[in-house]
Amino acid sequence: MDTPPSKLKSWSNLVARASQCQPPAVDVRFSIRAAILSESRRSLPAPVPLGFLEELSALLGLDWFLGTLAGVTLCAVGLGYFFFSIAPVLNFALSLSSTL
C-alpha cells in the first residue's frame, strides 16, 4: 500500500483518495480466515481422559459417588491418625494395669 503524498493531509482528501482506489484483484480474506481457524484448532488443548473412578461414576450414573468416596477416605485417615496417636497411651495403660 502506497503512502499518500505530503500535500494530502486533511481527512476529507484522504477519504476522497481512498474512494478512488480500486480494490485488489485477489481477495485474500478467505485464505486468511482459513489460516486463522486452522491455527486456532491446533492450539486447543487435548482432551483429558477420564480416570477409572470418573468412568465408574458416569457408568453407574452416581454423581455423589466421588464425593462420598472422598469423605470416607478422609474419615478413614482421620480415624487412623487418632488411633495411632492414642495407641501408645493405651499400651501404657494396659501395661500399667497388668502389673497391678
With a cut of 60, say whether residue 4 has pLDDT above it.
Answer: no
The pLDDT, as a whole number, for residue 3 is 62
With a cut of 60, say whether residue 8 has pLDDT above it.
Answer: no
What's the rounded Cα separation, in Å, for the pair 94 and 86? Answer: 12
Mean pLDDT, range 1-12, rounded to an integer: 65
Q: What is the pLDDT of residues 38-75, one digit of tens each?
A: 877 666 677 778 888 888 888 888 888 888 889 999 99
Domain residue limits, the chain:
52-99
- Which cell numbers in the block locate residue 11? 481527512
What's the rounded Cα separation, in Å, for the pair 34 and 36? Answer: 5
Those residues with Cβ within 8 angstroms of residue 50's Cβ, 6 or more apart along the chain or in another chain: 58
| Residue of 7 and 69 predicted with greater confidence | 69
Residue 65 and residue 52 in contact, taking contact as beta carbons nearer than 8 Å? no
Residue 50 and residue 42 in contact, taking contact as beta carbons nearer than 8 Å? no
Give, rounded to a whole angstrom, the gap between the first and last alpha carbons of the chain.
Answer: 105
The pLDDT, as a whole number, for residue 50 is 81
